[in-house]
Amino acid sequence: MATRTLSLLPHLFSLALLICISLTQGLNPKCDISDQGSTLQVFHVSSPCSPFRPSEPLSWEESVLQMQAKDQARLQYFSSLVAGRKSFVPIASGRQIIQSPTYIVRAKIGTPAQTFLLAMDTSNDAAWVPCTGCLGCSSSFFASDKSTSFKTLGCQAPQCKQVPRPTCSASACSFNLTYGASSIAANLSQDNITLADDSIPYYTFGCIQKTTGSSVPPQGLLGLGRGPLSLLSQTHNLYKSTFSYCLPSFKSPNFSGSLRLGTVGQPIRIKYTPLLKNPRRSSLYYVKLVAIRVGRKVVDIPPSALAFNPTTGAGTVIDSGTVFTRLVEPAYVAVRNEFRRRVKNANVISLGGFDTCYSGSIVAPTITFMFPGLNMSLAADNLLIHSTAGSISCLAMAAAPDNVNSVLNVIANMQQQNHRVLFDIPNSRLGVSRERCT
Ligand SMILES: *[C@@H]1O[C@H](CO)[C@@H](O)[C@H](O)[C@H]1NC(C)=O
Ligand SMILES: *[C@@H]1O[C@H](CO)[C@@H](O)[C@H](O)[C@H]1NC(C)=O
Ligand SMILES: *[C@@H]1O[C@H](CO)[C@@H](O)[C@H](O)[C@H]1NC(C)=O
Ligand SMILES: *[C@@H]1O[C@H](CO)[C@@H](O)[C@H](O)[C@H]1NC(C)=O
Ligand SMILES: *[C@@H]1O[C@H](CO)[C@@H](O)[C@H](O)[C@H]1NC(C)=O
């Protein structure tokens, strides 16, 4: 099988002319749909509806490589969490937040309400917004002084014990975090937050006062992890620690992804698999991946590549913030080899971190992740990333990075798109069913 590596940079300019994603279309009128009940519209950060879409149209390669680079940072972060270091499980999970704000939702904070776009992240408990006066923040400030219901929590507040390394300055409960090469200093604060039609009084979050470095993202963060200060813990009476989402494709001009909070309106006929808990990393959603089928063949993967081990952190998590699924090396190689065998096109090329790409279009076999109680079948829209002109198609998965002690399989958001994914924490189970939301 001939493997040819596309040397990217020399080709970027000419290819960019051919295969641009039209990320900079005007705002679609559909973007103004308001959130209703307990359901929030979810949109991709690069979608035509997103104010965070790149201002310059990126070439297809550039956007793919950028997403891969963010994934890499996120995977390193996961790896550091489970490598046995001291871990915190509070509002800002751990000493670092890696935020790949792939999907965003609207929230209102304060009285009168100020509207924000928050990044949705299932692997983080953190909730924070850049506040007015923040030194070093780039945009969208929450004007805490304009909100009559805003309050900074004191050092004596019980929540102050749940943040990492809290400090007391002028009796306010403050804490510091590092984010990549940046640092964040925040006050632990409380205000009402309104999600769709639900108003949540006394919501506890971090009000960012200062950041250094350039890697702090502009949005606030809506962590959907399950730690003590997470949204789920703070709204347990309202939402019963239950939510589901359907993630639209990043190319979607339409606006029909959703985050549904609470038990009302959740699918009834859906298959479930148990969620596993890793006490060392309590906010990650582990599942038990037992096998992977490519076409009709269950591929041969050493059991150790899929085994759950809370001590080393090994196993499989489902994550909304990683873009492309990563499998530990032996699992990935088995899947990729069978995939290549079935595609029957010997001209395999690579692109960035993807090693199974083809010129022109291909017919992909279905890949099925098999869990106890649930098979999650992925068709072409979840498996292939295409250049817009159709000149290159890649299998949108990769081996876990080998420069970190990586033992974790991550089922990422591209593979979850157009599925309803239901997190039922009280019953410790995850439901998945096919649903078009693109
Ligand atoms: C915020 O909460 C306070 C106290 O519950 C309430 O009086 C106020 O109306 C709320 N504001 C909004 C915008 O919901
Ligand atoms: C955050 O806390 C500091 C003291 O640590 C205080 O000077 C500042 O005003 C606080 N900010 C807000 C928005 O409450
Ligand atoms: C947190 O950051 C602030 C502002 O950068 C700094 O003044 C303070 O000393 C830091 N506190 C800790 C505990 O690192
Ligand atoms: C978007 O919605 C319009 C009108 O509802 C429909 O005609 C079009 O096919 C949709 N596009 C996609 C990519 O789903
Ligand atoms: C998953 O697929 C396998 C066949 O490959 C089948 O034996 C099993 O019953 C399926 N599981 C569920 C829950 O449908």
For 214-269, how does the pLDDT look when each residue is reduced to its tens digit (9 = 90+)? 555 566 788 898 888 889 999 999 999 999 999 988 766 666 789 999 999 999 99
Ligand with smallest separation from the Cα of 168: 2
Question: Is any ligand 3 atom within 6 A of the Cβ of residue 210?
Answer: yes
Question: What burial class does residue 130 get, using C-beta atoms within 10 Å of its C-beta: 0-12 exposed, 13-18 middle, 19+ buried?
Answer: buried
How many other CB atoms are found less than 10 A from the CB of residue 228? 16
* Residue 425, token pair as written in the block: 């924490």
Q: Select which of 121, 125, 191, 355 is catalytic.
A: 121
Ligand 3 atom 4 nearest Cα? 185
Cα 237 to ligand 1 centre (Å): 18
**CA separation for the pair 162, 92 (Å, rounded):** 9
**Domain for residue 150, yes or no?**
no
> With pLDDT > 70 as the criterion, what percentage of the chain qualifies?
77
**CA separation for the pair 333, 326 (Å, rounded):** 11
Atom of ligand 1 at shortest range from CA of 149:
1
For 372-412, where are the E strands, in sequence order? 374-378, 384-386, 392-395, 397-399, 408-411
Of 25, 250, 254, which is best to mutate to test ligand 4, by the most ligand atoms within 8 angstroms of its C-beta? 254
Using N-to-C axis directions, what is the helix angle for 8-18 and 60-82, rounded to 10°? 120
Ligand with smallest separation from the Cα of 153: 2
* Residue 240, token pair as written in the block: 């019963």
Which H or E element spans position 273?
strand 271-276
Q: Is the predicted pLDDT of residue 326 greater than 90, yes or no?
A: yes
Cα 187 to ligand 2 centre (Å): 6
Ligand 3 atom 5 nearest Cα? 185
Atom of ligand 4 at shortest range from CA of 251:
13
Q: Which pLDDT score, from 0 to 100, does residue 3 have? A: 36
pTM summary value: 0.85
**CA separation for the pair 103, 90 (Å, rounded):** 22
pLDDT tens digits, residue range 390-408?
A: 688 999 999 987 765 678 9
Work out the average pLDDT over 352-374: 93
Query: What's the domain count of the chain?
Result: 1
- Identify whether the C-beta of residue 332 lies closer than 8 Å to the C-beta of residue 398: yes
Atom of ligand 2 at shortest range from CA of 152:
14
Atom of ligand 1 at shortest range from CA of 111:
13
**Domain for residue 142, yes or no?**
no
Q: Residue 379: give the domain boundaries.
A: 1-17+60-83+267-438
**Domain for residue 225, yes or no?**
no
Which H or E element spans position 433?
strand 429-434
Q: Which of these ranges, 33-37, 64-68, 139-143, 337-341, has the smallest mean pLDDT?
A: 64-68
**Domain for residue 76, yes or no?**
yes
Determine the 3-state secondary structure of 217 from DSSP: coil
Q: Which of these ranges, 122-126, 155-159, 296-300, has the smallest mean pLDDT?
A: 122-126
Question: Is any ligand 3 atom within 6 A of the Cβ of residue 185?
Answer: yes
* Residue 294, token pair as written in the block: 């490519």
**Domain for residue 158, yes or no?**
no
CATH of the domain at 305: 2.40.70.10
Atom of ligand 5 at shortest range from CA of 271:
13
Is 32 designated active site? Answer: no
* Closest CA relative to residue 417, chosen from 255, 247, 256: 247
Ligand 4 atom 1 nearest Cα? 254
Ligand with smallest separation from the Cα of 165: 3
State how far the alpha carbon of 402 is from the alpha carbons of 58, 176, 225, in Å.
28, 30, 26
Question: Is any ligand 5 atom within 6 A of the Cβ of residue 293?
Answer: yes
**CA separation for the pair 6, 180 (Å, rounded):** 30
- Identify whether the C-beta of residue 92 lies closer than 8 Å to the C-beta of residue 163: yes
Is 145 designated active site? Answer: no
Ligand with smallest separation from the Cα of 111: 1
**Domain for residue 360, yes or no?**
yes
Q: Select which of 35, 71, 191, 319 is catalytic.
A: 319
**Domain for residue 164, yes or no?**
no
pLDDT tens digits, residue range 7-62?
A: 332 222 222 222 222 222 234 555 667 788 899 988 877 777 776 666 666 676 77
**Domain for residue 288, yes or no?**
yes
Cross-sheet strand order for the sheet of 367-371: 297-298, 291-294, 367-371, 374-378
Cis peptide before 303 (omega within 30 of 0): no
Cα 185 to ligand 3 centre (Å): 7
Q: Which of these ranges, 39-53, 79-93, 268-282, has the smallest mean pLDDT?
A: 79-93
**CA separation for the pair 177, 223 (Å, rounded):** 15
- Identify whether the C-beta of residue 56 lies closer than 8 Å to the C-beta of residue 254: no
